[in-house]
Structure 1
Amino acid sequence: MDPSERPFLPPRPVPPGEPDELGEAGEAAAAPTVIVLASGRGERFRASGGTVHKLDAPLDGRAVRERTLAAVRASGLPWHVEDAGHPGMGDSIAAAVRATIDAAGWLVLPADLPLVEPATLRRVARALCAPSPSPADPDAPAGLAAHAVQPVHDGRRGHPVAFSAACRDDLLRLAGEFGAAPVLRRLRAAGRVTELAIDDVGIVTDIDTLADLAAAEALLLSRVAPPAAG
């Protein structure tokens, strides 16, 4: 079995004689929560000619939102949908963190990424649970646990971006249109961001316009198309 297809199992030290496996209760407690951001107004999509909200737009017969949620459910990770009206993405993230305040960490996933793979969500979660990198800043506290993981496809940074539980207070203070960018920028400057190379174009295939929707449908159909006859 491909390692990325296994159920989520966060890495941890295993005492001698103890099975290298977590029970369902321990696994659920240790896994970070996927927060699906579905509060945006989708104005660019309508401006491009869309007649419905972009998350309700059909993508090969299934709404964009439903395709994203299907991947999240299939990942086996705990999840929360933030779909109340908020002024900006930062406000949405803060509200979602507040609603899942005891989570072991968070994967921030905009709902307009319908091609992201369940295995990608699990890989990002495992990377978040791995030992955090040492800070580049020599003046940073030695035991600093705040860190993030950002997946990268073909040189492009994408989502979900994962944040450790130690980022909670910073995430709760977010507001405005720039999402978690201020927190990520500070962590990156301190050498606390792991960039994870992933062969999944879904992490950068967001739906903002009708052209984006058409491109996503072409990618989706290419995944399921039968191989050409030799």
Structure 2
Amino acid sequence: MSYNNPAAVVLVLASGRGERFAASGGAGHKLRALLHGQPVLEHTLAAVRASGLAWHVEDLGHPGMGDSIAAAVRATATASGWLVLPGDLPLIQPETLRTVADALQHCAVAAPVHHGARGHPVGFAAQCRQDLLSLAGEQGAAGVLHKHAQQGRVQWVEVRDEGTVTDVDTVQDLEHAAQRFAARRSR
């Protein structure tokens, strides 16, 4: 089924160095670590593809998350909104991506919340373009979200998707994701 939402392009961030994964004993890069026979990034991309939303992978090895986000927004400059999705969220569900994209049509920023924890992807409408293009360094878009939250322009979207808060930063995170993946498949 094709899903056509002109409000959002999913920006899959895959430029990080994965230093915490290596420091925790991981071999290689976390996005290439295998989770049930496929690289972590492939699980994330499968959900993005299944969402039907337009998408862009930013994997050019930028020095920080802010630089990656700014580069991805530049590469998709004609979009009317963006969902910022780190590539290390292999359990994210396609429906969650569509839900955040739909919410973004009515606010400046839409952010998923799972059991009280803020997750990803965070959606940003076109009015955030300049703020996103100005990002640089290690800091991601949290400042943009905070700015709009202070102005009451953020929609917090309650989701049942644990994939919004299950990222893979360490070997232990990968093991946890593997357990959650197996539990999901057994349902």
TM range (shorter): over 0.9
- Asked if residue 63 in structure 1 is aligned to residue 24 in structure 2, the reply is no
* Residue 101 (structure 2) aligns with: 125
The gaps in structure 2 that reach 5 residues or longer are none
* Residue 183 (structure 2) aligns with: 222
Aligned residues: 187
* Residue 75 (structure 2) aligns with: 99
| Higher gyration radius (CA) | 1
Kindly report which structure 2 residues correspond to 1:74-93, keeping only aligned pairs within 5 A, or say none. 74-93=50-69
The Cα offsets for residues 97-121 of structure 1, whole Å up to 9 and x where unpaired, read as 0000000100000000000000000
Kindly report which structure 2 residues correspond to 1:41-56, keeping only aligned pairs within 5 A, or say none. 41-56=17-32
- Asked if residue 169 in structure 1 is aligned to residue 130 in structure 2, the reply is yes
The answer on whether the counterparts of 2:48 and 2:97 sit within 8 Å (CA) in structure 1 is: yes
Kindly report which structure 2 residues correspond to 1:177-196, keeping only aligned pairs within 5 A, or say none. 177-196=138-157
State how far apart, in whole Å, the 2-side matches of 1:149 and 1:212 are.
26
* Residue 91 (structure 2) aligns with: 115
Secondary structure of the corresponding residue to residue 97 of structure 2:
helix
The answer on whether the counterparts of 2:7 and 2:104 sit within 8 Å (CA) in structure 1 is: no
Secondary structure of the corresponding residue to residue 107 of structure 1:
strand
7 and 197 in structure 1: CA distance in 2 versus 1, 3 angstrom threshold:
farther
Task: Compute the RMSD of aligned alpha carbons.
Answer: 1.1
The answer on whether the counterparts of 1:150 and 1:195 sit within 8 Å (CA) in structure 2 is: yes
Normalising by structure 1, what TM-score?
Answer: 0.79
The gaps in structure 1 that reach 5 residues or longer are 1-5, 9-26, 133-146
The answer on whether the counterparts of 1:31 and 1:78 sit within 8 Å (CA) in structure 2 is: no
The answer on whether the counterparts of 2:7 and 2:125 sit within 8 Å (CA) in structure 1 is: no
The Cα offsets for residues 135-161 of structure 1, whole Å up to 9 and x where unpaired, read as xxxxxxxxxxxx100000000000000
Q: Which amino acid aligns with 1:222?
A: A
Secondary structure of the corresponding residue to residue 140 of structure 2:
coil
Normalising by structure 2, what TM-score?
Answer: 0.97
The Cα offsets for residues 132-189 of structure 1, whole Å up to 9 and x where unpaired, read as 3xxxxxxxxxxxxxx1000000000000000001110110000111100111110011
Question: In structure 1, which of residues 184, 201, 204 is the aligned counterpart of residue 162 of structure 2?
Answer: 201
* Residue 152 (structure 1) aligns with: 113
Query: In percent, how many aligned pairs have the same letter?
Result: 60
What is the CA-CA distance between 1:7 and the residue it aligns to? 4.9
